[in-house]
Amino acid sequence: MPKLRLPKATLALPAWVWLLAFFAAPVGLIIWYSFGYKPSIFGTHANDILSLDRYAEALSPTFFSTFSNTLWVGVVGTLACLIIGMPVAYWMAVKVPVAKRGLLIAAIMIPFWTNFLVRTIGWQIILAPQGWLSQGLQAVGILDGPLEILYSRSAVLIGVIYNYLPLMILPLFVAFDRVGEPLREASKDLGAGRLQTFLRVTIPLARPGIIAGLLLVYIPLMGDYITATVLGGAKGNMAGQLVAAQFQSAQNWALGSAMAVILILTILLSAAVLGLIIWLATLPFRSHYRLRLGAEA
């Protein structure tokens, strides 16, 4: 029987079509809108005159401070997640007995799968000036007055660190776990101290996981909208809210689209710059010989 040869990607065709129709096409549409303008009070967008004016408007001092604020929260939040999460991932992968790991992974994942918005509301309760934390700190004598942290950039920072920390810990755990005990033992047998083993063996081999963790945290964090809405108030604005406001309240789709495009470009560019900085900073620790995991078996 002659067989009908379908093209290789036939099974993926529905996914292709769906993603083109509801991802590529709409994103393409807002890129197109971003070159237009808002024609009147009631119109949302018009494209009969094309210009880059909306980009200039989006980067004007009024909005620029929000973009730089977002970048600050993004970079500081991601680094804080790395610093807080790395010892936890190392502890889970190296120190904790294998039998208990499953439970710990589940414990890390539970907050991750609880409603994002509700968790953030939990922080709103904790950080409230009349809340338990505030009263406790005053009773102990650490604070003189009520805790004045809610609706500020610091509250947003705490919120984003909290919300994205599991996304850092999980890939780091997988990476540290893959390095495995024998290689660390070998390094120690060859005379390296603990710190040297960590810096020269564990970290270089876990690099893909570290990079994955940084990206998994940094990208959604930069586009965050909910944390800043719930905890930020007027002082802790982020770019996501700026974009949302142009579409929801100001009804200026052209400006909102330009802001969305700038947000994506900021994320991509700053991730590239951050990557370059990390690459340069780790150069002194790089050894001449590269060990590939999985190749030694």
Partner 1 sequence: MSETATKRIALDRSSREGAPQGTPPAARAKPRRSVSDRLFAIWGILVLLFLFAPIIVILVYSFNTGRLLIAFDGFGIDPFLTILNKPAIQNAVWVSIRSGVLSALFATAIGTLAGVAMARRPGKWVGWFLAVLVLVTVTPEIVDAVSLLPWVVFLGQDLGITIFNDGIFRLVVGNSLFSIAVVSYIVRARLVGISESLEEASADLYAPPLRTFWRITLPLAMPAVLAGGLLSFTLSLDNTIISSFVSVSGTTPWPVYVLSAVRSGLRPEIASVSTLMLIVTLLSLVLVAWVLKRSGDSATEIARTMAGS
Is 23 a binding residue for partner 1 by CB under 8 A? The answer is yes
Binding to partner 1 (CB under 8 A) within 211-270 occurs at: 212, 215, 219-220, 222-226, 229-230, 240, 243-244, 247-248, 253, 256-257, 260, 263-264, 267
Beta bridge partners of 37: 46
Nearer to partner 1, 106 or 234 (CB): 106
Site track for partner 1 across 178-207, x = CB under 8 A? ---x------xx---xx-------------
Binding to partner 1 (CB under 8 A) within 44-73 occurs at: 44-45
With CB under 8 A as the contact rule, the residue among 171, 187, 210, 227 that binds partner 1 is: 171
Is 290 a binding residue for partner 1 by CB under 8 A? The answer is no
Site track for partner 1 across 70-89, x = CB under 8 A? --------------xx-xx-
Is 5 a binding residue for partner 1 by CB under 8 A? The answer is no
Distance CA 164, CA 158 (A): 10
CA 192, 196, 200 angle in degrees (round to 5)?
105
Q: Which stretch binds partner 1 (CB under 8 A): 47-55, 60-68, 166-174, 277-285?
A: 166-174
Q: Which stretch binds partner 1 (CB under 8 A): 50-58, 134-142, 168-176, 199-207?
A: 168-176
Distance CA 76, CA 222 (A): 11
- Any residues with CB less than 8 A from the CB of 129 and at least 6 apart, and which? 146, 147, 148, 150
Nearer to partner 1, 8 or 288 (CB): 8
Is 109 a binding residue for partner 1 by CB under 8 A? The answer is yes
> Position 58: which residue type?
A
Given a contact cutoff of 8 angstroms between Cβ atoms, the answer to whether 237 and 69 are in contact is yes
- Any residues with CB less than 8 A from the CB of 293 and at least 6 apart, and which? 178, 179, 205
Mind giving me the DSSP string for 237-274? Answer: --HHHHHHHHHHTS--HHHHHHHHHHHHHHHHHHHHHH
Is 284 a binding residue for partner 1 by CB under 8 A? The answer is no
